[in-house]
Amino acid sequence: MGKYVLRRFINYFILAFIATVTAYITSSSFMDPASRYRGQNPPLSEESIRSILNGHGTNPEVPVLERTWDWLTNIFLHGDFGTTVHNSPVLQEILVRAGVSLKLLLIGSIIGAILGVILGVWGAVRQYKASDQVVTYASYFIIATPTFVIGVILMIIATGFNNALGTTLIRFSGDYSANIDPGFIPWFTDQISHMLLPTLALVLMGAATYSRYQRSVMLDVLASDFIRTARSKGRTRKTALVKHGVRVALIPMSTYFAYAFGTLVAGSSMLEVVFSWNGMGQFTINSILQSDINAAAGSVLFVAVLTLMASTLSEVLYAALDPRVRI
Amino acid sequence: MTETLDIDLDPVAAAEPILEVRDLTVTFPNPKGDVRAVRGVNYEVRPGEFLGIVGESGSGKSVSSMAVMGLLPSTAQIAGSIRYRGQSLLDMSDHQMSKLRGREIAMVFQDPLSALTPVYTIGEQISEGLIIHDPSLSKEAANDRAIELLRIVGIPGAERRVRSYPHEFSGGMRQRAMIAIAIANDPDLIIADEPTTALDVTIQAQILDVLQKAREITGAAIVLITHDLGVVAGNADRIAVMYAGRLVETGGVEQVFHRPQMPYTTGLLRSVPNLATAGTQRLVPLEGKPPSLSNLAPGCPFAPRCPIAIDRCREVEPELIEHGITGVQAACHRADEIARGDLSATDIYPRPDPVATRVKDDAAPNILEVTGLQKHFPLLKGAVFKRQIGTVKAVDGIDLEIRAGQTLGLVGESGCGKSTTIGEVLEMVAPQKGRLVINGIDVADLNKRERLAMRRDVQVVFQDPMAAIDPRLPIGEVIAEPLTVHRVPAQERSDKVAEMLELVGLDAAMAERYPHEFSGGQRQRIGIARALVTNPKLLVLDEPVSALDVSVQAGVINLLEDLRDSLGLSYLFVAHDLAVVRQISDYVAVMYLGRIVEYGESDALYRQPRHPYTRALMSAIPVPDPEVERSRERVLLTGDLPSPTDEISGCNFRTRCPLFSLLPDGDRQQCLTDDPRPRPVEGGLVACHHSERITELDTAT
């Protein structure tokens, strides 16, 4: 088992390395970091632009491979991922913002997955009944709606809600308020009021897709012989479904979890922008908008590590759920 | 249809029935016409009785018993009455039924792999049934009881095995575990739905044994649902034959097997190849297919297939009543005539004559010659750095030969290497070891073009005609496909297809139709036509009838015999059904763990098997004759087929050998150390050191 895990990590290290280097090379080749400085007033001299770019290691006059090599040696020798266009170290930015993003991603994806599983099982058991149809159409509506539209719709609803209550119960700008009373309870309520909307949006997205998959897997399981066996032993339909059906139907979902995670990361990036959270999503989108090569490569590394962790988690889950693949 | 069936003459008849099924109908609503799966079924089961329900697939036999269990989907419309000890089961809620299921009425299902939940251990699944009905039982106590139950059903090392998952069990062991679950709460009625269909004959014999033992221990009545008349003959007290959703004949096994009154029963009994008589006479085919249950014509549903149908049969559906013989009821307008003896079985189903008279020519040239064929697979472990941890000896040095116009039957349990052998023959490349000569040419010498040309000479018919034919191609294209490979022009192809369809007994105009429009038997004929289209010399038949319903098997076997004799074909016939093999084969090779343990002329080998394994195989096969079955002495094999990766010193059969266990210690030594090579024994080849002492098995049992 230990050897297996070690091999996995070596594998992941290589994959993350390839993803990040590829990101660095492509963004170095296609982004034009100089354009950001040329339009400034008063105009900067070509000389000073060049020296700024050299400082970032993003001068297009230096060959891409040479820049990549420098970038890599800095990472491996000094643990330095370069600086952003705002002259702050990329690694430090990521460390600060990662917590903000993970808060949203973890809570959103876990609640979304659980809700999706429940809705999927419920829909499968009540196949073609009104409740199943409602869940099905609602899910497709959410899947078909762009993330930022969901975010904006939620904001409009929340505004109406706040107005009706006459107090700002739900906040949708930033991930915390600046001036709150000291102590745990004020902090906690503040967190909830900020997190509610973006988390809800992410949960809706996750639950919508998960529930579709869980429903189809569950329908397969419902027709299985072992459900019949469980009932022949004396289980009622309901307890046979819960004890034997759901348990087996969860197995393929653990694989799907890894796939869906990528979509959720993309979705949460949009949500961070919509709700003005200072997270990695916003960082990634800004790095692209500002032609910030170092920041873009750093963002890709962050996503790569997250995705690989999600896939490890899904494998561990699979082995835990299915005795047939245990080693 | 309200008459009750007072059938049995033995003591159990006196007791009150525990299960009474009256006018049971089950309909599945369907927009294209409701499927009337069960149409008025009446039967009863008395305490301790063994009832066999026989029927082909789609006859409603499983649906009617699922109705008893209350396990039909909610869409099914059920009418009539099912009473268990006087309580009406159809009026019960799922919750009330669940109190009965498992405690009073238990069930054993067909496929033990899918019938057990893959994520729980065997022990957990047995304990579950115990704890549901007795919540006061502690986990430890339930586990102890589970171990005890596993021991009862004959699982070695029960303490350890109770913690195994279903995938760690073999098919036979899983079925034993299923029986353990069924008997856990000491039920009064066990319904077994095709419990042995997915298993090898030797394992089937073991499982039937366990089922009988379970009946003795619990005193439960057993309803055994099966398509295998042999299984019923040897085990049941009473038989009920189902056809198109109705019971068509019921009675004591002896009476029904010896004097069937319903032509369908007669046809079934006559169409099954019998181990005792196979090969000496042609099989009697039961032509046609069961009617569609969604669109039944008036009259007797069997009338379109019945050779003695009269006008009345097509107008009025006959009722299930007695016809002069007490205890036997038949649903047939002409049953009176049959019961009186005016119409005998041979009148109803005369034995067809062979198309061509056959002369076995032992001087004919060899079509296939296999010498020392070996195929070992390395058993690897590890994903990145693979290392070999063993060898699977799938085929371990076998010799075979087939002469022109002759048939070699290759038999053995699953996992013995039959499929690997034919795979090697069909692949036509130089084997790992040994020689493969087809039509006088060593395949090792072939180049790519010559090999393609040779593929015309060797064709194959697969087991499952449903899966082996592309459902999206019209059958004309399916049959012509081998010709396309060999670049035959289109016109010639369609002529050939028409010719082939006629040859296998189908209409040439059917070439445009798609596979789903054909029945299983017809599809297998299509498979045979596809194989014959290149004018091959050798046909490899891989279990060609085992996926077919019993009533159509005979027709396909007769067709194969006729084609062989009229076209001068040679067959390599692979099957696990020894009776079918005897029917068609000139020579038989019995395989065990990659070796041929006995090889010889079919008649001699079946009359006097010389290897203990052959003996055991033959005695495991149920014969559809209650008298023979009851007087027969069985040589039961213990345990499962060992894994082909196991290293067994000496004779690889000794771990299960019934003769080995009888031998005195001194004589065992040879079996332990020397690997027996095939040696001539009375005209055949036998790989056993003690073949001459085979008769000791007869006196021992």
A248 contacts on B by Cβ (under 8 Å)? 117-119
Nearest to A215 by CA among A111, A322, A129: A129
B133 has a chain A CB within 8 A of its CB: yes
Could you tell me which chain B residue has the CA closest to the CA of A318? B119
What is the pLDDT averaged over residues B240-250? 93
pLDDT, residue A215, reads 94
List the structure tokens of B474: 């019209």
Could you give the CA distance from residue A310 to residue A304 in angstroms, rounded to a whole number? 10
- Could you tell me which residue, A218 or B284, shows the higher pLDDT? A218
- pLDDT 10s digits, B23-44: 999 999 988 888 899 999 999 9
Interface test with B, best of A1, A7, A9, A226 (most B CBs within 10 A): A226
Cα A87 to Cα A52, A279, A299, B161, distances in angstroms: 10, 18, 16, 65
| pLDDT tens sequence across B444-492 | 998 999 999 999 999 999 988 888 888 899 999 999 999 998 888 999 9
Chain B residues closer than 8 Å to A228 by CB: 71, 109, 115
* Residue B547 scores a pLDDT above 90: no
Backbone CA torsion sign across A116, A118, A119, A123 = positive
Question: CB–CB of B344/B258 below 8 Å?
Answer: no
- Judged by CB atoms closer than 8 Å, whether chains meet at B71 and A232 is answered as yes
Look up the ipTM and state it: 0.81
Two structure tokens written together for A226: 């072992």
Phi, psi (deg, nearest 5) at residue B154: 85, 40
Q: How confident is the model at residue B699 (pLDDT cuts 50, 70, 90)?
A: low
Q: In chain B, what percentage of residues exceed pLDDT 70?
A: 96
Q: Does B363 touch chain A (CB under 8 A)?
A: no
pLDDT of residue B416: 86
Q: Give long-range contacts, CB 8 A cutoff, 24+ apart: B155-162.
A: B155/B180, B156/B639, B161/B122, B162/B121, B162/B122, B162/B123, B162/B126
Nearest to B416 by CA among B590, B651, B672: B590
Q: In chain B, what is the straight-line distance between the N-terminal and C-terminal CA atoms, in Å?
A: 47
Q: Which residues contact B138 (CB under 8 A, 6 or more apart)?
A: none
pLDDT, position A5? 73
Q: Look at residue B205 and give its three-state secondary structure.
A: helix
Q: Check residue B357 and give its pLDDT.
A: 65
Confirm if B648 and B655 have CB atoms less than 8 A apart.
yes
- Among A174-178, B123-127, B153-157, B309-313, the range with the most confident prediction by mean pLDDT is B123-127
Predicted confidence at residue A1, as pLDDT, reads 61
Using an 8 Å CB-CB cutoff, list chain B residues near A247: 117, 119
Which residue in the block uniquely carries the two structure tokens 């692949």? Answer: B427
Statement: residue B353 has pLDDT above 80: no
Enumerate residues 6+ apart whose C-beta is below 8 A from A230: A240, A243, A244, B117, B128
Whether residue B8 is predicted with pLDDT greater than 70 in this model: the reply is: no
User: Please, which pLDDT band fits residue B9 given cuts at 50, 70 and 90?
Assistant: very low
Residue A293 has pLDDT above 50, yes or no: yes
Residue A225 touches partner B, C-beta closer than 8 Å: yes
Q: What is the mean pLDDT of chain B?
A: 87
* Separation of alpha carbons B374 and B396, rounded Å: 5
Mean predicted confidence (pLDDT) in B607-629: 87
Amino acid making up residue B154? G
Which pLDDT does position A228 carry in this prediction?
92
Q: What angle do CA B591, B596, B602 make, to 5 degrees?
A: 80
Q: How far apart are the first and last CA of chain A?
A: 8
Q: Is the pLDDT of residue B6 over 60?
A: no
Burial (CB count <10 Å: 0-12, 13-18, 19+), residue A310: buried
Sign, CA torsion A208/A211/A216/A217: positive
Give the pLDDT score at B7: 44
Does the structure show a pLDDT above 60 at B13? no
Whether A124 contacts chain B with CB within 8 A: no
User: Which of B98, B168, B197 is the best substitution to test chain A (most A C-beta atoms within 10 A)?
Assistant: B98
The tens digit of pLDDT for each residue in A220-278 reads 998 889 999 999 999 998 899 989 999 999 999 988 888 788 888 888 899 999 999 98
Between B165 and A170, name the one with better pLDDT: B165
Distance CA B123, CA B143 (A): 6
Summarised one tens digit per residue, pLDDT across range B148-166 is 999 988 888 889 899 999 9
Most confident range, picked from A176-190, B385-399, B531-545:
B531-545
DSSP states of B77-115:
EEEEEEEETTEESTTS-HHHHHHHBTTTEEEE-S-TTTT
Chain B residue with CA closest to A235: the answer is B98
pLDDT of residue B1: 39
Name the residue among B548, B566, B545 with its Cα closest to residue B557. Answer: B545
Q: Report how far apart, in Å, the C-alpha atoms of A107 and of each of A190, A195, A263, B476, B484 are.
A: 16, 10, 15, 59, 60
- B297-339 residue pLDDT tens: 889 999 988 888 899 999 999 999 888 888 899 999 998 888 8
Looking at every residue in chain A, the average pLDDT score rounds to 88
Which residues does B574 contact at the CB level (< 8 Å), separation at least 6? B409, B410, B411, B418, B419, B421, B422, B540, B541, B542, B543
**pLDDT reported for residue B384:** 52
> How confident is the model at residue B202, as a pLDDT?
83
pLDDT at res. B149:
93
Between CA B147 and CA B152, with CA B151 as vertex, the angle to 5 degrees is: 120
| pLDDT 10s digits, B385-441 | 566 777 888 898 999 999 999 999 999 888 888 889 999 999 998 999 999 999 999
* Minimal C-alpha gap between A70 and chain B (Å): 33
Give the Cα separation of B5 and B328 in Å (integer): 9
